[in-house]
Structure formats: C-alpha cells, structure tokens
Chains A and B, each alone.
Chain A
C-alpha cells in the first residue's frame, strides 16, 4: 500500500495543474462572455468559409 504515497501526491499535482489552468483561463477572460462564443461556433460551420483577405 506504499503506492498510496505516490498516487496521492500525483492526484494532488493533477488537481493543482487543473486549478492553475482554470485560473489562467479566467484571467485571460475566457469566462467573461458565455453567450457569444456559442453563436460564433454555430455560424462558423455554416457560412464562415471565405478566407479572410490578408492585407
């Protein structure tokens, strides 16, 4: 059962990584607007085929 001493810290490290990722995403504003991105995704599939002009 000494595997516990490996698994437990490992799972905590994973949780820590998730928290850091979440914090990063929140600070980047990923959760500021929860409405528009959903619509954006729907529309991109149907009509956003034109390549944007570079210039």
Chain B
C-alpha cells in the first residue's frame, strides 16, 4: 500500500527522507543542518505533535503511512456549536460525550495506532477507537476538559481531517440487524452440531447395537434441539416462502421451506410413534448452512449504503450565511434555504448548489467531473455543492441544498443504481432453483411409484429423497469457493466485496475505463519542456514558495536539482509567480500573463493542440522556456490493457475530461477514437453504462472518483483503482489496493480460475446429490451411507476451495 511507486525513481543516496512520512523531501525543502527533514509543513506539525506527546514509538512501527500529511488547517469551530452537538454528539449519563467521526486519510495499521492514541496527545479525551475498513472513529471525551473542536484540530494536524458521521442512526439500525443475523447463525450452528452428534451416535448404534431406550432418548432430544432451530433461525425461510406464496412469485425459499417443514413434521410424527427415520440432522444442518450463506451475502451488500453515508459525511456541516445587513454567521448546512446567500472562503467546500452573486475564483470540480484542473467561476456562474473553492472568497446565492443538490441527486442515483443493478444470473442460483424443482418432482414420483407397492413407507421414501438431496454441498459450493478466492485476492492486494464479481468477470466482456486517475495518474505532471535546461533551478526557486499543484509538479519532475533561494516572490492567484533569484527576475505562469511582463516566445517549433496546459518561463523579461503539463498515462497501462485485450476483453474509455485529451490518451493506449468518449458528466456516465447493460453487454466499470460511483454501481461489476475517492471505493465491488492497472489483469485471471473451481465444486455436489437421489428413490436409504456421504461431500468441497489456486500474490513485482 505504498504510494512511493507513483513517484519518479531517484537514487536513494541523494534523497533525504521525510522524518514523518519517509517520502523524499523536495530539494527546495531541505533545511541544512536540521536533525529532521520534512517534505511539507503538515508532516512537520504532525511530527512535533507526536514527539510532544511522547509517542515516538510511532516511528518504530513496522508499517507506516507513507503519505504526506495533508491537513486542512480548519478551525473546526462548528464542532462546538449547539446545533452540531444536538445532531451528532451523545451525552452519556456519566457526563462524558461521545460521537462518531469519519476520518479521511486513513489507510493502514499505523493510522489505527496513531488515532487510538489521541487520548495521550489530548488530555480529556477518554477513548478513541478506529474502524479502519470504514474509516470511522469512535471518540469519548470529557467536555469539561477538552472541546470537540480541539480534538478535530488534533486529528486534522495528524493528517486525518474529521467529518461528522451523518448516517449514525441508520448505521445503528443496520448494525443491530446484522448482529441479530449473526446470533441466528451462531444459534443454528450450535443446534445443528449437537443434533449431528446425536445423529452420528444413532447411526453408530445401527452397527454396534443400541438400547431402544437410549435411541428413543436421542430422538426426543434431537426433536427438542431441532424445533428451536426450525422456529428460531429457520423462520427466515418460512417467512420468505410465505411471502413467495402470497406474491405468487417463485423464490428459492419456497422449496427450502417445504423440505424443512416436511422433514420436521414427519420427523416429529416418527419420534412420537417411535419408528422410522427422523431427518432432524438434515433439517438442522440445512438451516445452519443456508443461513451462513445468507449472512455472508448480507455482509458484502453493505457497500452501496456505506458509500452514500460516507459521501454525506464529507459535505460541510456548517455554512456561512450572509444576513440582510451583511453580517456573516454560521448555520447548519441542512437549514439553508433556496434564496439565502452564503459566503464561501477559499479552501472551503461549497455547501449548496447556487449561483455566484459576488466574487471571482476558481473551483475544483473534481468531485463532479473527475477533472482536477480548477474551473473559473465569476458572478452569474452556477456552482455545485461538493466542489472546492480554490482561490478567493465567493458569495453564492443558494438555489438548492441538501438532497436537492446535484451531488445529493448523484448519491440517490448511486443508491438506486445499486438496488436496480442488472443481476448476474448466478450459475449456482439458477442451478439451485432448477435442482430443487426437479427434486420436488422426483419426490412426488417416488411417492407415486411406491404408494401401490408399499403404502406404509411411500411417504418416508419421498421425504428421504427430499432430505438426502437437500443441497448441503451445493449450498456451500458457491459461498465457499467465492469467499476462499476473495480471501486469497485480499492477500494479493485486490479487495472483492460482492459475491457475484467472480461469475461476472470470469468471461470476457466490455471494460469501461475512466481516464483521469484510472488510465492516468490523475494529477498534473510535467510532460514537455522546451528551452534552456539551465533555467530549471530558477523555476524551482520561485515555485518552491508557491502553493499550487503545478509548483508541486515541478518539484516532482526535477527532484534532484538544487533549489537556490528566491527573494521578493509574489504569487498572482490563478496566473503565475514572479521572484528574484541570484539577481535575475524570474516569472513563471500562464502564457498570456507572462506575455504581459516579458517579450518573445519560447524557442523551438510550436506544438499542435494536444490537451496539455502550457506554462511560460521568463528570465529578465525575456521568455526563455515553456513547460507543458498534462496528466501522464500510468506506466503499466499499455502493457496491462494489451494483456486484457489478448484475453478477449473489449475496452472503452469514458471520461469527464475534454474530448481531445481523452482521444489522445486512448490513442496512446491503442484504443480507437470511436471507443473513447470525453466530456461525460456523472449523469452521462450512468446513462452510458445503463445503455450498455440494457444492450446485454457484460459491463465492468473501472474508475476512481465520485463521478464514476453511480456508473460503477450500475455496471455488472464496479472496480475502484488505488488512490480513488472514498465514495468510489465504497461503491465498488472490487478495490485495487496496489497502484496501477496491473492488478486489474490479475483480477481477471484470478476470477477465471475461481470460476473453474466453483464449477468443479458444483459438479461434485450435483454428482453426489444425483447418487443420493438414486439410492433414495430405490427405497434404500441406509442412514449409515448418508452419514458418511453427507459430511464427505461437504469436506471435499471445503478442501478444494481452500487448496484451489485462484489469486496468487504479486510475484516479485
């Protein structure tokens, strides 16, 4: 989970590592003679905080977060407001307060360590606990000693900007439902295992002999154990079957409930009468196995709901409302009404959709478009909630807030898309339906054939068929093969959340790829340099003092060059930077802006339109160089896409970026321009994916941003690449935890092997069941044979699942 791989390789000897995050310190940031060097101010602050609290142990952790600290330097004053407390904070009877905060920037084990030591850093915080999978922190503190805003600031400076967790109520309900289901599984397991023990003893009695009295005792105890399993955990199936009857819709629960009820009733009758088979072991085991499969499924289906809530948490909770008299006060975002005016500071997230009333700035709309280049906004322009104001303060007249905003609608679409997603016709499901139906028919035939010959035992033979063929191994085959494959995939850096991913990806289909951040690195990089190399250090000198994405891109491009000192540096927002370096006046910025301050044009031929952003460099009022920035294609993209094409996948690019840039990138990767679409907003992406799904394509959507999230949920499989937005990770069925596109190839290979394994498992259990059915129909159900065959088939299925080679860890790469 290292981010160092993204960075340009540099000889280790000449690079100074940041004392906090171990990433290389940019040449301009090295302080001569200092004992500790830092890559950025954020890391310096975090380091000081950790040292001050006596937590140096953090730097001895075997695995550390290799990411610069990106705090927001916000004050978090809103965390202390009454309205905030009323919404998100619970007062405990002992006077302590508790809340849940969603932390951005949580990635690995060291984050757990650090966040849970906040009580050491801040006296007054009593308890901190982090759920790393969902980035949720539970905090308990004493309001008399410390305020929540101070906790917020501390977390922020450690690199984990906190957000109030919006879905606490729904989360509570869902967690309770999940716990109840797990308790059911546990109860069903305990009952089934005890019934199984008694059954094995009874079967043993068939050979060695057993007192009639004891056999009868075992049968009664089995009844006593199975009845609670049937009425307790088993009620799920009874209820499902009942609603299936009422709605006149065939459902898997119907045959299951029928088999369970038949076994239960007949077993009870035979127990009371003291003769004939009792079937209780089959009934209890079946309840347990089916319930386990259902629980595994429920757990993996939480992704979409999580995504919505996490996204809601990222929205600002407080907005700065402009009163009629011009005063500004903070109010909860939820209370904003259309028509009210809000003040948005530079660096703040726009709280609602609206129109710019006053001010001129640039907005980072990457949340909606995936395009990281800021877009200019002036009076009269529309702005959207969730975008970030980059440059200067704005006053926005609200047109829609809360759920009515564009991002709110997007999140609703995501939920809806996840609910309505085209189901992958799971092989095991369709097979199980077909299978149970034929078992029911066979049972009737058995009864009908035996009735004239042996009326006393005809019904028993039919029920025996139902029980013996109940798909124990079949019910296990799919969840086991898939969960085993998912476990192996996780160790290889591929997190698979949905169970149907394996089936959906095993056959080649259509791969829809986002451009920015997926095929490319998703951030500005220096692509072209025209001009004298000797001015490079001068550029670094002035840019070292500018806080701009392009300044960072210069530093990344030339990590080893010396950085001279620059004086008199002036940054003009949205245009460029000027300064004096070693007696030379250096200006770096937009061509139009530099042309106002210098003469000439950059040397060399003028390049054609290529979607790159040019930056001019002037030294002593003469333009001497041009740097062209773009979003570089990931190093492994070409090879990975070629491999995918070789296995039969078709590729398409669908991006929110400018069409010209999208086509250029697609061409570079060998994708014809006809299959590359640019300028697609999130709604368009969703529509395109829905259209493809409706045409019967098997669609896999690969993306990284919130703008891809709804399309990912609508596709058969959504894949989020490393470094993507939290919401896209949560909406995806698969998350690639290592950078680049190579993991995508491994995902395709692994799922293909997992599918083979799954098919083998199913064949095995079907063969077993056919044999069982044959024996039962012949009227020869020897419980001893059943006792051997039943666990044996399950054991074989379990064994092949765990031994099967599906996903292999990255070999040496």
Chain A residues within 8 Å of B, Cβ to Cβ: 1, 4-5, 8, 11-12, 15, 18-19, 22-23, 26-27, 29, 31-33, 35-36, 39-40, 42-43, 46-50, 52-53, 55
Complex A-B, nearest 7 residue pairs according to Cβ-Cβ distance, in ascending order: A39-B109, A47-B57, A55-B123, A22-B186, A36-B132, A33-B131, A43-B113
Residue of A nearest to B136 (CB): A33
Stretch of B58-66, B74-82, B464-472, B671-679 lying at the A interface: B58-66
Residue of A nearest to B197 (CB): A11
Considering the chains assembled together, what is the distance between the CA atoms of A36 and B112 in angstroms? 7
Considering the chains assembled together, what is the distance between the CA atoms of A27 and B60 in angstroms? 36
Is the Cβ of A22 less than 8 Å from the Cβ of B183?
yes
A53: B residues at CB distance < 8 A = 54, 120, 123
Residue of B nearest to A9 (CB): B221
* Most central of B55, B175, B186, B193 by chain A CB within 10 Å: B186
B217: A residues at CB distance < 8 A = 4-5, 8
New A-B pairs, 20, CB < 8 Å, besides A1-B214, A8-B217, A26-B183: A1-B211, A12-B194, A12-B225, A22-B183, A22-B186, A23-B183, A26-B179, A32-B178, A33-B131, A35-B132, A39-B108, A39-B109, A40-B112, A40-B116, A43-B109, A43-B110, A43-B112, A43-B113, A50-B57, A53-B54
B225: A residues at CB distance < 8 A = 12
Is the Cβ of A47 less than 8 Å from the Cβ of B109?
no
- Within 8 Å by CB of B60, from A32, A47, A52, lies A47
Considering the chains assembled together, what is the distance between the CA atoms of A53 and B175 in angstroms? 33
B132: A residues at CB distance < 8 A = 33, 35-36, 39
Task: Give B571 Cβ to nearest chain A Cβ, in Å.
Answer: 41
What are some 10 contacts across the A-B interface (CB < 8 A)?
A22-B190, A26-B183, A31-B179, A33-B133, A35-B131, A40-B112, A40-B116, A47-B58, A52-B119, A53-B54
> For residues 596 through 627 of chain B, which have their beta carbon under 8 Å from a beta carbon of chain A?
none
Considering the chains assembled together, what is the distance between the CA atoms of A36 and B134 in angstroms? 10
Task: Give A22 Cβ to nearest chain B Cβ, in Å.
Answer: 4
Residue of B nearest to A42 (CB): B109
> For residues 173 through 226 of chain B, which have their beta carbon under 8 Å from a beta carbon of chain A?
175, 178-179, 182-183, 186-187, 190, 193-194, 197, 211, 214, 217, 221, 225
Is the Cβ of B182 less than 8 Å from the Cβ of A46?
no
Considering the chains assembled together, what is the distance between the CA atoms of A32 and B131 in angstroms? 9
A8: B residues at CB distance < 8 A = 217, 221
Is the Cβ of B183 less than 8 Å from the Cβ of A43?
no
Chain B residues within 8 Å of A, Cβ to Cβ: 54-55, 57-58, 60-62, 108-110, 112-113, 116-117, 119-120, 123, 130-133, 175, 178-179, 182-183, 186-187, 190, 193-194, 197, 211, 214, 217, 221, 225
Task: Give A11 Cβ to nearest chain B Cβ, in Å.
Answer: 7
Q: Is the interface of B mostly helix, strand, loop or mixed?
A: helix
Q: Is the interface of A mostly helix, strand, loop or mixed?
A: helix
Residue of A nearest to B123 (CB): A55
- Within 8 Å by CB of B175, from A15, A32, A55, lies A32
Is the Cβ of A4 less than 8 Å from the Cβ of B214?
yes
Considering the chains assembled together, what is the distance between the CA atoms of A20 and B55 in angstroms? 40
Task: Give B610 Cβ to nearest chain A Cβ, in Å.
Answer: 44
Report if A50-B120 is in contact (Cβ < 8 Å); known contacts: A26-B179, A40-B112: yes
A47: B residues at CB distance < 8 A = 57-58, 60-61, 113
Considering the chains assembled together, what is the distance between the CA atoms of A46 and B64 in angstroms? 12
Report if A52-B61 is in contact (Cβ < 8 Å); known contacts: A19-B187, A43-B113: no
Is the Cβ of B61 less than 8 Å from the Cβ of A46?
yes
Residue of B nearest to A54 (CB): B123
Residue of B nearest to A34 (CB): B133
Residue of B nearest to A19 (CB): B190
Considering the chains assembled together, what is the distance between the CA atoms of A37 and B102 in angstroms? 18
Task: Give B181 Cβ to nearest chain A Cβ, in Å.
Answer: 10
Is the Cβ of B131 less than 8 Å from the Cβ of A48?
no
Is the Cβ of A39 less than 8 Å from the Cβ of B112?
yes
Is the Cβ of B179 less than 8 Å from the Cβ of A15?
no
Residue of B nearest to A40 (CB): B112
Task: Give A12 Cβ to nearest chain B Cβ, in Å.
Answer: 7
Task: Give A16 Cβ to nearest chain B Cβ, in Å.
Answer: 8
Considering the chains assembled together, what is the distance between the CA atoms of A49 and B132 in angstroms? 22
Residue of B nearest to A28 (CB): B179
- Within 8 Å by CB of B133, from A12, A35, A42, lies A35
Considering the chains assembled together, what is the distance between the CA atoms of A36 and B128 in angstroms? 13
Task: Give B200 Cβ to nearest chain A Cβ, in Å.
Answer: 13
Residue of A nearest to B210 (CB): A1
B123: A residues at CB distance < 8 A = 53, 55
- Within 8 Å by CB of B194, from A15, A32, A50, lies A15
Is the Cβ of A52 less than 8 Å from the Cβ of B179?
no
Task: Give A48 Cβ to nearest chain B Cβ, in Å.
Answer: 7
B193: A residues at CB distance < 8 A = 15
Considering the chains assembled together, what is the distance between the CA atoms of A22 and B183 in angstroms? 7
A22: B residues at CB distance < 8 A = 183, 186, 190
Residue of A nearest to B119 (CB): A52
Is the Cβ of A48 less than 8 Å from the Cβ of B182?
no
Residue of B nearest to A55 (CB): B123
Task: Give B68 Cβ to nearest chain A Cβ, in Å.
Answer: 21
Considering the chains assembled together, what is the distance between the CA atoms of A29 and B183 in angstroms? 11
Is the Cβ of A26 less than 8 Å from the Cβ of B119?
no
Is the Cβ of A50 less than 8 Å from the Cβ of B55?
yes
B61: A residues at CB distance < 8 A = 43, 46-47
Residue of B nearest to A31 (CB): B182
A15: B residues at CB distance < 8 A = 190, 193-194
B133: A residues at CB distance < 8 A = 33, 35-36
A36: B residues at CB distance < 8 A = 112, 130-133
Considering the chains assembled together, what is the distance between the CA atoms of A5 and B117 in angstroms? 54
B113: A residues at CB distance < 8 A = 40, 43, 47-48
Report if A29-B179 is in contact (Cβ < 8 Å); known contacts: A1-B214, A8-B221, A36-B131: yes
B183: A residues at CB distance < 8 A = 22-23, 26-27
Considering the chains assembled together, what is the distance between the CA atoms of A1 and B735 in angstroms? 59
Is the Cβ of A18 less than 8 Å from the Cβ of B54?
no
Considering the chains assembled together, what is the distance between the CA atoms of A6 and B116 in angstroms? 49
Task: Give A50 Cβ to nearest chain B Cβ, in Å.
Answer: 5
